[in-house]
Amino acid sequence: MPNSQTAVLGGGCFWCTEAVYKRVKGVIKVEPGYAGGNTINPTYQLVCSGVTGHAEVARITYDPSIISYSDLLVIFWYAHDPTTLNRQGNDIGTQYRSIIFHENDEQKLHAESSLKTADSGELFTNPIVTKIEPLETFYPAEAYHFDYYNNNPNQPYCRAVIASKVQHFMERYQEK
């Protein structure tokens, strides 16, 4: 799509992030992947070991005439716990860190403003630990990670973790 834009966000397990954003009006595509580390062409196994420095992320391609980058960030704060360092629930390690990768100065400004608003004390009682960094390289995850929740709805992790995040999002943001 010629007028599409992308956002790269890390909110813990990329299966969870992908499952939420695939349900957002105006989102064209969501790709799980890796960013922010020092290993070229990382694999899931390497990223899970914690040695690559990469975070599990989702690259979200969206139509800005339907949903804005700022609205994607509002969903980001709501879709995970940005107050836990290198952890989301039972998923522990730097690969699960909360991070916003900006692709340009405009995204950086929106991310910083959004973080300031989210960290004002109204949404979270604990301080936000989310990092904001420039995106250097996005590496798509292996094919079996794409659309993981929809393809594996009965897998225990999907039923126990992802389903509740999706339901929580759908209840809160029905209009989106």
Active site residues: 13
Q: How far apart are CA 171 and CA 176, in angstroms?
A: 10
The amino acid sitting at 100 is: I
**Cα 143 to Cα 60, 104, 147, distances in angstroms:** 16, 28, 9
Q: How far apart are CA 127 and CA 42, in angstroms?
A: 31
Q: How many residues does the chain have?
A: 176
Strand runs labelled E in 36-150: 55-62, 87-88, 91-92, 98-102, 131-134, 138-140
Which DSSP string do the residues of 134-167 spell out, in sequence order?
A: E---EEEPPGGGTTHHHH-TTSHHIIIIIHHHHH
